[in-house]
Amino acid sequence: MSNATQGGRAFRGRHNDFWYFDRLPMIARLALANAAFNWSSGAIYGRWQRGLYGFKTGVDIAARIAEADAHQIAKGHKRKETK
pLDDT in tens, 8-18: 555 566 888 88
Nearest one of 74, 80, 81, 63 to 27, comparing CA atoms: 63
> Which 3-state string (H, E, C) describes 8-34?
CCCCCCCCCHHHHHHHCCHHHHHHHHC
Whole-angstrom distance, CA of residue 60 vs CA of residue 28: 8
Residue 8 domain-assigned (yes or no)? no
- Model pLDDT, residue 74: 86
33-76: pLDDT as tens digits: 999 888 989 899 999 999 999 899 999 999 999 999 999 888 87
| Averaged pLDDT, 17-30 | 93
In this predicted structure, the answer to whether residue 77 has a pLDDT above a threshold of 80 is: no
Which residues are CB-neighbours of 4 under 8 A, at least 6 positions away?
10, 11, 40, 42, 43
Residue 70 lies in a domain: yes
Residue 10 falls inside a structural domain: no
Domain that holds residue 43: 25-74
- How far is the first Cα of the chain from the last one, in angstroms, to the nearest whole number? 12
